[in-house]
Amino acid sequence: MRTPVKVCGITRTSDAVLAAELGATWVGFVFWPMSPRAVRPAAAAAILAELPPHVAAVGVFVNQPIDEINSIGDTVGLAAIQLHGDESEADCAACRRRVIRAVRLSPEDDASVADEIWPPATVLVDTFDPVRYGGTGRAVNWTVAAGLAARRRTFLSGGLGPHNVATAIEAVAPYGVDVSSGVETAPGFKDPEKLRAFFEAVRSTDVTDYET
């Protein structure tokens, strides 16, 4: 079994192409204007056009109007919408694409937060920050994340990099992993060597089933 990888905060074609070559399942574009990794829809569409069809695009949004989210989804050709703010279940249901719902874990949270998330959504676990919505570079509580992953299809995010992603996968058993700041030289600029090392670490955890 191979763990799907989502490389988020893409702003450059070269980074997206390398991620695809290394085996990324998803690339993430941030459309929240306050993010240092924000990208315009036309630029994201141009990057996506250079990728093979098996690589899907996720759009990241924070407390933005649903009409705007759906419009950007159509313009770019997004496969999924990641809601990373304080959106309601009604907002999730109004999205015209698959929804990935971010859960920003605080120290007080436990795995029961999974029960509060819109049931059809895929969960993405990230670290709580009172100002920043993602990209903090801080790890989540892996014990809580493992409990969440046991209940729901879950992406693990937050503080992942080549140095710890294999351990994180073993500890949490997530559906997939999401990386952004852990493979960057600066916000939105991926480091090719870090990106390669990240994928090597993820693939070291792959399990192959052999028929007998």
5-203 has which fold? TIM Barrel (3.20.20)
Least confident span in 3-12, 103-112, 165-174:
103-112
Burial class from Cβ neighbours inside 10 Å (0-12, 13-18, 19+) for residue 119 reads: exposed
Compute CA distances 144 → 62, 86, 94, 105, whole Å: 24, 20, 29, 9
- 130, pLDDT greater than 60: no
Which tens digits make up the pLDDT trace of 150-162?
A: 999 999 998 999 9
| pLDDT at 100 (0 to 100) | 98
- 204, pLDDT greater than 70: yes
Any idea which residues carry the catalytic annotation? Answer: 8, 126
Please state, rounded to an integer, the average pLDDT across all residues of the chain: 91
- 134, pLDDT greater than 60: no
Please give the sequence-ordered ranges of beta strands (E in DSSP) within the chain, or none if there are none. 5-7, 26-30, 56-61, 80-83, 98-105, 122-127, 154-156, 176-179, 184-186, 189-190
